[in-house]
Amino acid sequence: MAKKPAEFRDFPDSLKGEANFGPYRAVVKEWVDGDTVRVLIDIGFNLYPYETIRIADIDTPELNRASSAEAGRAAKAYAESIAPVGTPIVIDTRPDSESFGRYVAFLMLPDGSDVGTVIVNAGHAVWRIAH
């Protein structure tokens, strides 16, 4: 992950306004697990970073735990089925309040549906916060 340039580390709060974290156009490149996806993002100015994004507000079973690996594989397979590699999506990102430097995002499919909601409604994830 790229570090923030020194010039922006102490940017005055009075000039921050509403920080723009999207929406951005993106394309699915790879699913890491059921709630984490790698995407190519069009952030404007002919800049297209490749980023790993966690879906906001949901949790899917972990792939690396014996007790949840099967459910984790099912969650990943389901995510891949609704947004396969190459799918155009829109992401609206937020800094993750639980980790330093990571971002989470709400992902919208071409039909307008929210990926997190679809995965939860299919039984492959739970909400991290009340909805």
Say what the pLDDT of residue 5 is: 78
Cα 120 from Cα 110, distance rounded (Å): 18
Written as six digits, the tokens of 32 are 């890491």
22-47 pLDDT, tens digit each: 899 999 999 999 999 999 999 989 99
pLDDT digits (tens, 9 = 90+) for 39-89: 999 998 999 999 999 999 999 999 999 999 999 999 999 999 999 999 999
Q: Where are the beta strands (DSSP E) in 1-131?
A: 24-33, 36-42, 50-55, 58-59, 88-95, 103-108, 126-127
pTM for the whole thing? 0.85
In single-letter form, the type of residue at position 22 comes to G
44 close to 90: Cβ distance less than 8 angstroms:
no
The residue to which tokens 């155009």 are assigned: 88
Tell me: domain 21-127, CATH 2.40.50.90, correct? Answer: yes
